[in-house]
Copies of this chain bind each other. A is one copy, B any other.
Amino acid sequence: MADSLNPEQMHTYFALIEAVSLLQYAVSQQLQAEGGLSYVQFEILATLATAEGRALTMTDLADGVVYSRSGLTHQAGLLERDGLITRRASPDDQRATVVDITAAGRERVAAVLPGHIAVVRELLFEPLSERDVRTLGTLMTRARDHMRSRPPRSAAPRRSRRAG
């Protein structure tokens, strides 16, 4: 009970990982084909497009989207190069960089969103009833909140003492 997963858990774990991997792969293909965007880039643009009102900094974006600041800087550089976002110093805190989505950025999101949604609907939602969707949402929200609430500890060093 302490050291293994029961068969039900194994089965659930593998199905979950496999299904989401397939979904992510299909979605990535669609975003690349129809908008030249990686999934992370799409997430950044979609976050900005949705955050209407609030001014988001690089740190805000990194928290929700990606796992290192330098990785986000790199992606933001690509998006800025393509004219999809702009960056400017924050008026409140001179250290911070506020990221804005441009009109072209919004157009790009609008261009890929229907296809994106189509893929998700066809692959994920087609075999699920309304009730299933609600149930799945409840369970995954609970799981996500649980994961977000814990300091990323179990994932951390154990063999190498250095990484800390």
Contact = CB atoms under 8 A, between A and B. Distances in A.
Interface of A: 3-5, 8-9, 11-13, 15-20, 22-27, 29-30, 33-34, 67, 114-115, 117-128, 130, 132-137, 139-148, 150, 152, 154-160, 163
A3 B117 contact: yes
A92 to B, nearest CB: 28
A154 B122 contact: yes
A62 to B, nearest CB: 14
A9 B132 contact: no
A156 B11 CA distance: 29
Nearest to A135: B135
Nearest to A20: B20
A143 B126 CA distance: 8
Nearest to A127: B146
Contact of A29 (B26, B29, B156): B156
A11 B123 contact: no
A87 to B, nearest CB: 25
Given A8-B134, A16-B137, A23-B143, 13 more contacts: A4-B117, A5-B125, A9-B120, A11-B141, A13-B124, A15-B144, A19-B147, A26-B154, A30-B154, A34-B158, A118-B154, A119-B154, A123-B146
